[in-house]
Amino acid sequence: MSTLDTLFPNPMNCYFALFQDAVFEHDADVNYVFQRGQFKRRDKTAVIMKIAEMAKAVYAEMTSGNTSFDRCEPIVDYSALLAVVSRYSRDVYGFRRIKAKLENLENVVGKTANLKEEIESIILESGDFGFLIPSTNPYIHREAAVLLYWFSVLKPFHLDFKKSAGPVPEGRIIAYFNEYFAYSLINVALHPWSAEMKLHEHWKFFIDEFLNQLHFRNLSRSSLEFFLPGWIKGIYSDTSK
């Protein structure tokens, strides 16, 4: 099985595997790629399979030496996972998408052309342009909050059990596995920024309060944005918002 180091020789690619715009192509500086005036779409299968490979490696590390997971079989709902990263991308990258579209207008219609039709066309594409985070460089905790929210809503991760004797994880881990695993996956992706959520260091609060509230969707995107900064240790850009 691949390890995270072999999957991502460049650690920043681990971050982008989860936190990139999963729908439209861009570079590391979030400069979008255009084809004939339209965003170039990513290969959805490639995006999801890379996250799935990452998830397998994280699960292997997370369960290594823990015999209570020996009977467990992790299941990924690929349709739900695609919906997670698509909605995250709309919410987090929507403002940057429309900014890139407007900046690219000159290349499409020329400096002196009437922009009315092109602007109307962009407005018609407004479903791709979420304005939840109106910033071109949001704080990392805002990105993590939106991603964690959609993981908790759409629940792509599940545990199945092999028919054999032996222990299983404690009931709360089984019940909240989707949220527990999503939290672990996001933390791994944050490491290249020297950032990490620290809620798990306070286990009783983490499992009984945070994962419980996340599982039952009692934490909204805005409440997670407000809550997470106090629990993330790391480096933040002075230009972020």
CB 181 within 8 A of CB 59: yes
User: Could you tell me if residue 73 is inside a domain?
Assistant: yes
Q: Is residue 185 part of a domain?
A: yes
Does any domain span residue 239? no
Please say whether the beta carbons of 42 and 26 come within 8 A: no
pLDDT truncated to tens, each residue of the chain (241 aa)? 578 999 999 999 999 999 999 999 999 999 999 998 899 999 999 999 999 999 999 999 999 999 999 999 999 999 999 999 999 999 999 888 888 888 888 777 766 556 667 776 776 666 677 766 777 778 899 999 999 999 999 999 999 998 887 788 999 999 999 999 999 999 999 999 989 999 999 999 999 999 999 999 999 999 999 999 999 986 444 334 4
User: Measured between alpha carbons, how far is 203 from 216 in angstroms, rounded to an integer?
Assistant: 18
pLDDT in the model for residue 111: 62
The C-alpha atoms of residue 40 and residue 229 are separated, in whole angstroms, by 33
The domain in which residue 164 lies consists of: 4-233
Is 196 within the bounds of a domain?
yes
Whether the CB-CB separation of 113 and 47 falls below 8 Å is answered with no
Angle at 137 between CA 133 and CA 139, to 5 degrees: 75
The pair of structure tokens assigned to 95 is 């403002």
* Residue 183 lies inside a defined structural domain of this protein: yes
Nearest to 28 by CA among 145, 192, 182: 192
Residues counted in the chain: 241
In a domain, 189, yes or no: yes
Domains of the chain: total: 1
Does residue 238 form part of some domain? Answer: no
How much is the pTM?
A: 0.89
Assess if residue 127 is contained within a domain.
yes
